Amino acid sequence: MPASETTTTTAGRVGAVGAEITRPIANRVGIVGAGPAGLMAAEVLASAGAAVDIYDAMPTVGRKFLLAGRGGLNLTHSEPIARFISRYPVGRHAVAGWLVAFGPDAVRRWADGLGVRTFVGSSGRVFPVDMKAAPLLRAWLHRLRALGVQVHPRHRWIGWGDAARGALRFATRDGEVERAAQTWILALGGASWPQLGSEGAWVELLAQRGVAVPELRASNCGFDVARRGFENSARGGSEAAESATLLPGWSEHFRSRHAGHPLKTVTLTVGDGASAFRRRGEFVVTETGIEGNLVYAASHAISAAIAGHGRAVVRLDLLPDRSPDFVQAELARPRGSRSLSTHLKSRLGIDGVKAALLHELLPRAAFADLAGLARSIKALPLDLVAARPIAEAISSTGGVRLDAVTDGLMLRAVPGVYCAGEMLDWEAPTGGYLLTACLASGVVAARSVLQQIGRPNLSVGPAASGTAASA
């Protein structure tokens, strides 16, 4: 496109609408999406002297970023980089390359450069000292403003514009407009938390240009349960399990009394053998199933089992600190006139939601077989049949296939258009891994753009500090 071509855009200070200005298209990069990936790409580009315009559908930027910080902003994780990379079950090879550009150590130095000190928690997770997202976002937007980045809120991408001008079409409060740039970076997020702007509407727009986009699916999500309706409550053990019919959801008795209650200090196992997922933690009983940190960590394995077999049978160790022999020995102790429920509580500390879960998931006869009950306490089967809707998920997987982009994250089918962040087909657990990779992908896309537009200045901005940190 002609370097002298200009266009009029609505711009202003970061996060607000300002005055109309006219800027040359040459060396101007448009970014669609003002989440972590888009903002990081903007920082790298503007630090190298590129003119940057960010377009976002929401009235203000960083809404999902702020929501993630409500319970304390988990920026990244402090574990060794090799183990860090191993946490990505989908797209690991690509993500490893992004982390060379901007790894977890670089994230901490970047935050420190914004005046936000961090600390490592007991779990190895990294948080701002004040445990808040808002101060970091304010400092970040101040930096972007000083670099000349222009943010255009209430601009929802709705289609492709004049290809010769590198234009995209946006819906605004004043009607449909076209905005032009030399190069574009799409950082539109996945489809979780659609009320915050990530609704996945971009899938159809990319499909129009021949981009392969696998279905967006829930990740780091809760799951619906099915309980076993035993045909003959007099039978127990494996025979009862095999004859059981799966019924949707919890019983009304269990749901009404225990939905919203946490199940603490358990080990959850998915699968068998060396490849099994096995982790200790806690989760919450919901109206329809289970959710929470331990469930989110297992969500990839659970979803894979459901996809392959129609359901996932997870096993819960209700007493991970006790051996099977100990549990069986305690159950075998004489209980006199005491009820079994009282015996379970006094000898093993099993009461409340743990005790209720045993009654919910086991046939009545199982409580007469103390050896079998001990085995169930150590490996209680729970059937999960469906992920919760993607709109309820922490994040999503699916999106633009990684072989549909170059190593520099440019769409092969649409030269000059790049993708970054959660709209790419990779997956990460909670714990800082998702945010770190989103930031890193923004760095990679921005550095590639700088090469394209003839500004390969990689000695400024966060990209420089990231390389040494993660190599």
3-state SS of the chain is CCCCCEEEEECCCCCCCCCEEEEECCCEEEEECCCHHHHHHHHHHHHCCCEEEEECCCCCCCHHHHHHCCCCCCCEECCCHHHHHHCCCECHHHHHHHHHHCCHHHHHHHHHHCCCCEEECCCCEEEECCCCCHHHHHHHHHHHHHCCCEEECCCEEEEECCHHHCEEEEEECCEEEEEECCEEEECCCCCCCHHHCCCCCHHHHHHCCCCCCCCCEEECCCEEEEEEECCCCCCCHHHHHHHCEEEEECCHHHHHHHCCCEEEEEEEEECCHHHCEEEEEEEEECCCEEECHHHHHHHHHHHHHHHHHCCEEEEEECCCCCCHHHHHHHHHCCCCCCCHHHHHHHHHCCCHHHHHHHHHHCCHHHHHCHHHHHHHHHCEEEEEEEECCHHHCCEEECCECHHHECCCCEECCCCCEEECHHHECCECCCCCHHHHHHHHHHHHHHHHHHHHCCCCCCCCCHHHHHHHHHC
Cβ contact 230:427 at 8 Å: no
Q: How far apart are CA 357 and CA 340, in angstroms?
A: 15
Q: What pTM, to 2 d.p., does this model score?
A: 0.86
Sign of CA dihedral 40, 46, 50, 53: positive
Domain 6-218+392-470 falls under CATH 3.50.50.60? yes
Q: Which residue has the tokens 């601009």?
A: 155
Identify the pLDDT of residue 166. 87
For the chain, the domains span 6-218+392-470, 223-387
Spell out the per-residue pLDDT of the chain, length 471, in tens: 333 333 333 333 343 333 333 455 778 999 999 999 999 999 999 999 999 999 999 999 988 788 776 778 999 999 999 999 999 999 999 999 999 999 999 999 999 999 999 999 999 999 999 999 999 999 999 999 999 999 999 999 999 998 888 899 999 999 999 999 999 999 999 888 777 777 888 999 999 999 989 889 999 999 999 998 765 444 444 444 444 688 899 999 999 999 999 999 999 999 998 889 999 999 999 999 999 999 999 999 999 999 999 999 999 999 999 999 999 999 999 998 999 999 999 999 999 999 999 999 999 999 999 999 999 999 999 999 999 999 999 999 999 999 999 999 999 999 999 999 999 999 999 999 999 999 999 999 999 999 998 876 544 456 444 433 333
Looking at residue 465, its pLDDT comes to 43
**What distance in Å separates the CA atoms of residue 404 and residue 406, rounded to the nearest whole number?**
7
Among 359, 274, 357, CA closest to 317: 357
Whether the Cβ atoms of residue 318 and residue 266 lie closer than 8 Å to each other? yes
Contact 420, 440 (CB under 8 A): no
- Residue 27 zone, left/alpha/beta (φ > 0; ψ -120 to 50; rest): left
Residue 228 CA, distance from chain mean position: 31
**The pLDDT of residue 130:** 92
Task: Measure the CA–CA gap between 142 and 134, rounded to whole angstroms.
Answer: 12
Q: Which of 413, 390, 435, 444 is nearest to 190 (CA)?
A: 390
Q: Which residue, among 201, 194, 172, 213, has the nearest Cα to 55 in the 3D structure?
A: 172
Which of 1, 60, 5, 94 shows the shortest CA–CA distance to 440?
94
Neighbours of 215 (CB within 10 A): 12
pLDDT at residue 199 in the model: 82
Residue 27: the pLDDT is 80
Report the pLDDT value the prediction gives residue 457, as an integer from 0 to 100.
57
Phi-psi region of 390 (alpha: psi -120 to 50; beta: other; left: phi over 0): alpha
